[in-house]
Amino acid sequence: MIAHLSGIVALKSPDHIVLDVHGVGYRVLIPFSTYYELPEEGGNTSLHIHTAVREDAIVLYGFRSITEKEFFQLLIGVSGVGPKLARDILSNIQPAPLAAALQHGDIGKLSAIPGIGKKTAERLIVELREKVRKISLPEGSPEISRESVQNHYLLDDVTSALINLGYKEALVKKALMEIDNSENGTVEEVLKKALKLLMK
């Protein structure tokens, strides 16, 4: 069973890559978060791999971090959540805020993810609330507290508002990184700060 691959990115697309490992091309399905961290075609990279064996195929899922792989494996252990849905979940939410939403029972946050309804969100919380506590988040990940969860949602709201105003997501995220949110301002306050930076 393949658990790790290192090689050259022969082809790169938002949902999969072809990784050339000593002349052998492996097609690996990936979440968006991994796609954004990959080098351009021709660059070298390493991926943590989950091998899904089906009756008609062997499918490889790749992740830049071991934490994402661990969350993926937890998700597919939940009844009704297959590898494709698990990958889609990780494409829409990072491990730290996902862990926070699960631990705090945030059905609204989870059910907002495409493909996740209220019943599936409830099942995820029941089955994974305690299990996610055992996963070590990477150094630098936000502490999973009520305050950090609220701050994450606030930034989500501000990001959506700015994108709706026509700003590119990459520029929005760069601007938000320059803002000090330690004082837990309101959406309106953070939005005003971000607009000042974007309009310079």
Name the β-bridge partners of 104. Answer: none
Summarised one tens digit per residue, pLDDT across range 179-191 is 765 445 677 778 8
Q: What is the rounded distance in angstroms from the CA atom of residue 147 to the CA atom of residue 130?
A: 20
How many angstroms separate the Cα of 156 from the Cα of each of 115, 153, 191?
A: 19, 5, 11
Closest CA to 89 of 103, 71, 70, 106: 71
pLDDT at 61: 96
DSSP per-residue letters across 99-150: HHHHHTT-HHHHHTSTT--HHHHHHHHHHHTTGGGGSPPPTTPPP-SHHHHH
Q: Model's pTM, two decimal places? A: 0.67
pLDDT digits (tens, 9 = 90+) for 87-125: 999 988 888 888 888 988 888 888 888 888 899 999 999
Q: Higher confidence at residue 10 or residue 106?
A: 10
Give tens-digit pLDDT for 144-179: 444 444 555 567 777 888 888 888 877 887 777 777
